[in-house]
Structure 1
Amino acid sequence: MEALKQYWLKIKNLPKREKQRLIKKWSLLGVGAMFVSFAGLLLLAKLMGPPALLVPQTTVLHARDGSVIGEIHNSGQNRYWVPLKKIDKDIINATLSIEDKSFYDHIGFDFKRIAGAVLADIKAGSKVQGASTISQQYARNLFLTHDKTWRRKLQEAFYTLRLEMNYSKKEILEGYLNTIYYGHGAYGIQSAAHYYYGKNAENLTLAEASMLAGIPKGPSYYSPVAHYHRAKDRQAVILTAMKEDGHVNAKEKTIAKRTHLSFQRIKEEQKPKIAPYFQDAVLAVLKKEMKVNPETLRFGGLHIYTTLDAGMQQIAEEAMNGKIRGKEELQAALVAMDPRNGDVRAMIGGRDYSKSPFNRAVQAKRAPGSTFKPFLYYAALENGYTPSTSLKSEPTAFAMGDGNKDYEPQNFKDKYANDFITMSQAIAMSDNIYAVKTNLFLGPDKLVKSAKKFGIHSPLDKIPSLALGSKGVGVMEMTNAYNLFANGGEQVKPVFITKITDRDGAVLYEHEYEKKQVLNKENTFVLTDMLSGMFDDRLGTYTNVTGSSINQHITRPMAGKSGSTPADSWMIGFTPQLTTSVWVGYDKGEKLGKTDTGYSKRVWVEFMENALYGEPAMSFKQPDGVKAVTVNPSNGKLATDSCPVTRVSYYVKDTEPTEYCDEHGEGTNQEPEKEKEGWFDWW
């Protein structure tokens, strides 16, 4: 400090010419230092490259036809990014006229405007005029707080330099218009256009655009919704500026100024969700299976294209709401899938999402009842059974031999044939005695292995009652298992998402479909044919077939299986194009009432028929190793012309019956129907 004082005294005593020379020298050094510092700053900005534009953007969920079904965004902030070419020229011109006339001429800072603002502030004795360019405002919106400190201003200047040196003017303007706040939770011009006018940013009129351009200066103060007259005054200023800049003429200005605007006030978050349970399932897949960061979902501006068929979803909800009325505590779930590829087309996880977002379609485990039997009968076909294999249906006590009391399953309403029935009949009438006998004959371990082959991953016990669906499984799990019947034994995985793109349309993920043949095609087709028996009254003897209550509604080849427990009612059925499961029950496992058990079938058939309306009625593809023969359905023997009832039944070749029916007197034997031979067989 003393040295500096001595140096100052030395300069003070110098001659005038020496003082001037010294001042000139230090001035040149100061200017040079400033120049070097500024050049260094520019070089650093260039070397650091473009700053990451971490702009929070709304993620959009799409149905399979591209329509929007939902959004994921930061609470209260709707953000959409649209390219500059899809923003109306009037909003661009209005913004430039009022915010930054010299935007295309400066390098991020309008020094003339800064000087003018400084003079205005000095005259007023306070800060009355801003001089921030669009580039500066964009930098502030992207990276900084709005604190009025020197540190923040220096940071803003540096970020502005980085933006200007690494992005084009069009990119900066596009970014600004997509991030500026327009009030009422609307960030960016697309969100603002939708909120205020219910339209896209490319469709704005001059009056609408000039009104929106005035909002960012004070989103609350100039809100046309809250303060219309203030907003109109601000609009007039903008229109005058646009006229001065040559963007509009006097007539256009007058018309726009006189136009009275009405506002839609469309808040996206207030819209009811489309398929909310499905959307939750999509989010679960994104987070748990695809490991997408939750922050990326909330702020990434992704476009997620799903497998949902919006039309089918509406049909499903109408069927569910139309058939199940009253009984608010009664819950239901529905899953519809395309068995050809695993696409989930519709999903309902409960009666009312707003009251209970718990997704019973994918989260609940419920006893499937007799819908579990087809896995047993597939194992039976693999172990020598045929559709004609007969067992006696009668009240039976099964001795367990493990110290426990005998196991005594019952048929529905205690009805029994008290005679032999075929496997085709056992499936059609859902005979429990036949199922338990088969399970014990094969060994319960074979049923567990068979269920796993179908893709059932829920824990299963090797017990006799497993044949009757006593262990809990999921609705989605069962639906995907039944897909194997519909597609000829090919394992497909449930698909919710087909593609993910970023805000610019670049593909980040695209699903690759996979299939794996896990079942024998011939046995699968034979069992599928038997599962169509629930709609064939010819297979009913001591009781009706289980689909008799809905037979009259079916207009195309379908197959399936119903099932029930005291607390659960199921219906799972399919065509080659669609597999659908419906579950009805109470969350707490209360017993179903008499009328409750019929809901699942009625919802299922209404959905299937309406969902497939207009689609071709497809038959299940018969493999070469399967043979069709005409049998007497009551005993499974080859039919004669004396049999009053006959049915074409399918068998794996060389397992078809050879004995003719002799229950109706002598008749002419009918040879089994022969299939057309190929040229190689003929040769």
Structure 2
Amino acid sequence: MRGTFIWGFALALLAVIVVGVSVLVAAQSLPSYDKLKSSQNGQMIVVRARDGSELVSLGPSYGKWVPYAQIPQVMKDATVSVEDRRFRSHIGVDPIGIIRSLMVRVETGHWRQGGSTVTQQLARTVFLNNSKTFDRKIREAVLAMALEWKFSKDQVLELYLNKVYFGGGAYGIDAASRKFFGHDAKDLSLAEAAIIAGLVKAPSRYSPTADSKAAVDRAAVVLQTMEEAGAITAAQRANANLQDVKQAPEAGQNSARYFTDWALPQLDLLLPDNQEPIEVWTTLDPGMQRAATAAVAANAPKGAQGALVSLDRDGAVLAMVGGTDYVTSNYNRATNAVRQPGSAWKLFVYLAALEAGYKPNDRVVDEPVTIDGWSPHNSGGSYAGEIDVRTAFAYSKNTVAAQLGNEVGFGAVAAMARRFGISTPVNTMPSMVLGTSDVRLIDMTRAFASVSAKGASVEPYGILKVTSADGQELYKRPAPRGELLVPAYVAAGITDLLQSAVAIGTGKAAQIGRPVAGKTGTTSSNKDGWFIGFSSGVTTGVWMGRDDAHAVPGLQGGTAPARAFAAYMRYAVAKRPVEKFETDLKLPDWQLEPDDEQIQGNPNDYYYTDDQGNMIPGGSNPGPGEPPVERGQPADNGGLVPADPPPAANDDFLDQATGKRPREGARSGQGGNVPAAPRAGQPGSRERPIPVN
């Protein structure tokens, strides 16, 4: 017995020494009180609309720091009574509480009562995590004793009440008071303090916004505990009517969250290493967002979803709706869903045709065709015969789109779609001209916005700038620099066609009393309906359909989507001046046929090699055997010499350069440049037949 006592005493003394040294070392390594006050768990992000109003606050909310002297006594008493009744007497850990917890564990077989003190909870909140391991509990106890060693009881309680998590993203009593009751913590009543104190045990379960009855029941337990601890009298408990506590109205999870869910992940690229509280200023217009939400909700067919994206002329996202109800489904159909666009895809077919030389007035034939075994049909099954390109587009003639796609090449159509920002896979089967490749709404809207920008590329963006909590600018979006995707005359031509589709064609329901250009899209069996268009610098795309891709009776691009577009756009452009579209085809006079060189500049900027290897300016390139034109020599056609496009190197020169013999029948003096054959609809041309199997 004596030996056991001696060894037990020695081991206990050694443990005390080890713990004491550990606490002393931990106390010396603790941050100062001011640093502990300023430390935060997680990053606080306030997202603002373009007018400065707050859209949403994400991450932990700390509210204002409330000094100990200004914390209501009822809040202090409620916390100590329910969380740590012996707070004023222990050294950071409560041996009595630990023994009681162990006894309950032995009796019931489960951990029913926690032995953590307020100081231990503070240590866990500031320095540790919530893992239930023995190692973490040991470190928690050591840190708690170190906190008690270094700071006073009042300081510990002040830190605790300003840092502990109360649910709903609120850290500290001020954030909790503002979130749940709409006022700061200095004005907390006894009943409100009881509700807040009761949240610490299980913030999500007892949150007033999640379950008000559970919050009230838990607060009643807190009041009873306060009375038992002598913190309040029976009369005070009776007068604290929990049913009369008024909760602050909770901000709804509105459709702007679709936008913030899309925009905020971009911060990882814009500010990859920032962990400080920030304010993100976005492009979203609150009024337009409300109008967009209402337009989708009012027009989406029963059982169907709807999505909308609206871009300003520079790509700024003005409104974004990813579904009919964010609370029910936060899946963003505007940016994530991929669906077939139907005839809205014809934008790229006709862009490729216009770039290849077609014009809106050119004649085409709407008739049955078969291409590689595929035979498209028009909606309604009728054929109009000979019509012009404008009419074929306005009434969305599938057979004409198929003929044009076959003529310019399905690869060219796919390349045009890629050029205009389609990021999803594009197939080159003949049926692709009718929109069989899955696309995203935001990508299609971007493509139409680039047409509205007269052929210049547009990139959707949602973040204007990011500032720190003290207003320092951390990021500012640079001015956009649009790359020219197609010549201006191609953009004018497609705008002509898009305007006709709304004025006389399938998009009549999208009319808003001012010029509108756009295109409908409907997929087979009415699974998807699209309308995408622009007016007065605002481009908007609308999609409707079911998430399970089942048919929606009566859904067509020219019905519900077009009506939603019109309802939204009437508000979106109401304060903007009416803008007429530039639809005049102004072909450069130095071109026989449109080509990619027009995008790159004037032919005078080019140089060509003559037969002797001399570099000759493009505007002065003579054919073989012709006298060279001196630079600066005036010409009858205003300085562009010759009036026709400058010929490429002739065949003889190419044969000599490559070591080949001159081919038979090579025509000297023509530079090997064979004039382009007249197109269908032009003088001297014949309609080109479509290959039919």
Task: Please indicate, yes or no, whether the TM-score normalized by the shorter chain is above 0.5.
Answer: yes
Q: Aligned partners of 1:308, 1:170: CA distance in 2, in Å? A: 46
Q: 1:376 maps to which residue? A: 349
Q: 2:71 maps to which residue? A: 91
Q: 2:401 maps to which residue? A: 435
Q: 2:14 maps to which residue? A: none
1:497-536 alignment, distance < 5 Å: 497-499=463-465, 511-512=477-478, 514-520=480-486, 522=488, 523-536=490-503
Give the Å deviation of 1:494. Answer: 2.4
Among all aligned residue pairs of Structure 1 and Structure 2, give the percentage whose two residues are the same amino acid. Answer: 26
Q: 1:448 maps to which residue? A: 414
Could you tell me which of 579, 584, 587 is aligned with 2:539?
A: 579
For the aligned residues, what is the CA RMSD? 5.7
CA contact 2:341–2:523 (8 Å) conserved in 1:
yes
Residue 204, structure 1, aligned to residue 170, structure 2 = no
Q: 1:411 maps to which residue? A: 378
Q: Aligned partners of 1:151, 1:376: CA distance in 2, in Å? A: 64
Residue 460, structure 1, aligned to residue 426, structure 2 = yes
Q: Aligned partners of 1:210, 1:414: CA distance in 2, in Å? A: 72
Q: Aligned partners of 1:111, 1:204: CA distance in 2, in Å? A: 24
Could you tell me which of 344, 364, 370 is aligned with 1:392?
A: 364
Residue 605, structure 1, aligned to residue 556, structure 2 = no
Q: Aligned partners of 1:99, 1:210: CA distance in 2, in Å? A: 8
Residue 55, structure 1, aligned to residue 41, structure 2 = yes
Give CA deviations for 1:635-675 in whole Å, capped at 9, x if unaligned: xxxxxxxxxxxxxx55446599xxxxxxxxxxxxxxxxxxx
Q: 2:321 maps to which residue? A: 347
Q: Aligned partners of 1:83, 1:206: CA distance in 2, in Å? A: 18
Q: Aligned partners of 1:265, 1:500: CA distance in 2, in Å? A: 33
Counterpart code for 1:81: Y
Give the Å deviation of 1:440. Answer: 2.5
Query: CA 1:318–1:263 in 2, change beyond 3 Å: closer, same or farther?
Result: same
Q: 1:565 maps to which residue? A: 523
Give the Å deviation of 1:549. Answer: 4.1
Give the Å deviation of 1:69. Answer: 4.7
Counterpart code for 2:381: D
Could you tell me which of 169, 172, 190 is aligned with 1:188?
A: 172
1:262-281 alignment, distance < 5 Å: 262-265=244-247, 271-281=252-262
1:246-265 alignment, distance < 5 Å: 262-265=244-247
Could you tell me which of 306, 321, 330 is aligned with 1:332?
A: 306
Give CA deviations for 1:234-272 in whole Å, capped at 9, x if unaligned: 59999999xxxxxxxxxxxx999978673245696x954
Q: SS of 1:334's equivalent?
A: strand
Q: SS of 2:522's equivalent?
A: strand
Could you tell me which of 77, 80, 87 is aligned with 2:61?
A: 80
Give the Å deviation of 1:355. Answer: 5.5
Q: 1:322 maps to which residue? A: 298
CA contact 2:531–2:561 (8 Å) conserved in 1:
yes
Q: Aligned partners of 1:484, 1:321: CA distance in 2, in Å? A: 28
Counterpart code for 2:441: V
Q: SS of 1:579's equivalent?
A: strand
Residue 141, structure 1, aligned to residue 129, structure 2 = no
Q: SS of 2:71's equivalent?
A: helix
> How many residues get paired?
544
Q: Aligned partners of 2:272, 2:52: CA distance in 1, in Å? A: 21
Give CA deviations for 1:297-334 in whole Å, capped at 9, x if unaligned: 9xx876555444343333223222322343x2x34332
Counterpart code for 1:410: H
Give the Å deviation of 1:463. Answer: 3.6
Q: SS of 1:384's equivalent?
A: coil
Counterpart code for 1:414: G
CA contact 1:560–1:572 (8 Å) conserved in 2:
yes
Q: TM-score, normalised by structure 1?
A: 0.62
Give the Å deviation of 1:435. Answer: 2.5
Q: Aligned partners of 1:212, 1:504: CA distance in 2, in Å? A: 33
Query: CA 1:257–1:616 in 2, change beyond 3 Å: closer, same or farther?
Result: farther
Counterpart code for 1:315: A
CA contact 2:52–2:281 (8 Å) conserved in 1:
yes
Residue 619, structure 1, aligned to residue 595, structure 2 = no
Give CA deviations for 1:96-127 in whole Å, capped at 9, x if unaligned: 79989xxxxxxxxx999669x99x99xxxxxx
Q: Aligned partners of 1:604, 1:588: CA distance in 2, in Å? A: 23
Q: Aligned partners of 2:459, 2:247: CA distance in 1, in Å? A: 42
Q: Aligned partners of 1:333, 1:216: CA distance in 2, in Å? A: 38
CA contact 1:180–1:216 (8 Å) conserved in 2:
no
Give the gaps of 5 or more residues in structure 2: 1-17, 81-85, 98-115, 207-213, 592-637, 639-693
Q: 1:541 maps to which residue? A: none
Give the Å deviation of 1:455. Answer: 0.8
Query: CA 1:577–1:358 in 2, change beyond 3 Å: closer, same or farther?
Result: same
Q: 1:13 maps to which residue? A: none
Could you tell me which of 292, 302, 311 is aligned with 2:287?
A: 311
Q: Aligned partners of 1:440, 1:383: CA distance in 2, in Å? A: 12
Q: Aligned partners of 2:168, 2:390: CA distance in 1, in Å? A: 65
Residue 178, structure 1, aligned to residue 162, structure 2 = yes
Give the Å deviation of 1:573. Answer: 0.6
1:276-295 alignment, distance < 5 Å: 276-282=257-263
CA contact 1:236–1:257 (8 Å) conserved in 2:
no
Q: Which moved more, 1:356-365 or 1:171-180?
A: 171-180
1:136-175 alignment, distance < 5 Å: 138-142=122-126, 143=128, 158=143
Give the Å deviation of 1:153. Answer: 8.0
Give CA deviations for 1:120-164 in whole Å, capped at 9, x if unaligned: 99xxxxxxxxxx999876435323779999996886565776899
Give the Å deviation of 1:571. Answer: 0.8
Q: SS of 1:519's equivalent?
A: coil
CA contact 1:336–1:580 (8 Å) conserved in 2:
yes
Counterpart code for 2:360: P
Q: 2:662 maps to which residue? A: none
Could you tell me which of 439, 445, 448 is aligned with 1:479?
A: 445
Q: SS of 1:570's equivalent?
A: strand
Give the Å deviation of 1:482. Answer: 1.1
Counterpart code for 2:71: I
Give the gaps of 5 or more residues in structure 1: 1-32, 74-78, 101-109, 122-131, 242-253, 538-544, 623-627, 629-648, 657-680
Q: 2:223 maps to which residue? A: 231
Give CA deviations for 1:429-463 in whole Å, capped at 9, x if unaligned: 32333333322222222222211110112222334
1:211-230 alignment, distance < 5 Å: 226-228=218-220
Give the Å deviation of 1:572. Answer: 0.5
Query: CA 1:171–1:608 in 2, change beyond 3 Å: closer, same or farther?
Result: farther
Counterpart code for 1:231: L
Q: Aligned partners of 1:66, 1:259: CA distance in 2, in Å? A: 40
Counterpart code for 1:530: L
CA contact 1:210–1:239 (8 Å) conserved in 2:
no
CA contact 1:305–1:497 (8 Å) conserved in 2:
yes
